[in-house]
Amino acid sequence: MKKKKSEMIHLRKRWNERVGGTMTKSLHDKIVAMIHSKQSTPIRKTSNRVTIHDVLVIGNIHRVAYDKERKQIVTVLPREET
């Protein structure tokens, strides 16, 4: 399994666990577009390829990790640990 696919499986599992509901491709693409168009709030850089962002999705702010090399969300972080 390639890293991009395993990251997406991880994201879907964590989204369901921490946010509730399903992470669809269209929702994922919308969040990525928000990050690219600077409609998110960058929080910190964790490595050369991963940054943490706060994004407003469906009326709630969610903290996500974005992989710029693969151009996808890696995971959603729980609010109490951020």
Q: Is the pTM of this model over 0.75?
A: yes
pLDDT at 58: 84
| Gap between the Cα atoms of 39 and 25, Å rounded | 19
pLDDT > 90? residue 78: no
Structurally, how many domains does the chain consist of?
1
pLDDT in tens, 13-57: 999 999 988 999 999 999 999 999 999 999 999 999 999 999 999
Cα–Cα–Cα angle for 45, 48, 51, nearest 5°? 30
pLDDT at 80: 63
Residue 16 belongs to what H/E stretch? helix 3-18
| Gap between the Cα atoms of 75 and 18, Å rounded | 10
- 82 pLDDT tier (thresholds 50, 70, 90): very low
Please give the residue range of the domain that contains residue 9. Answer: 3-81
With CA atoms as reference, report the closest residue to 66 among 81, 80, 54.
54
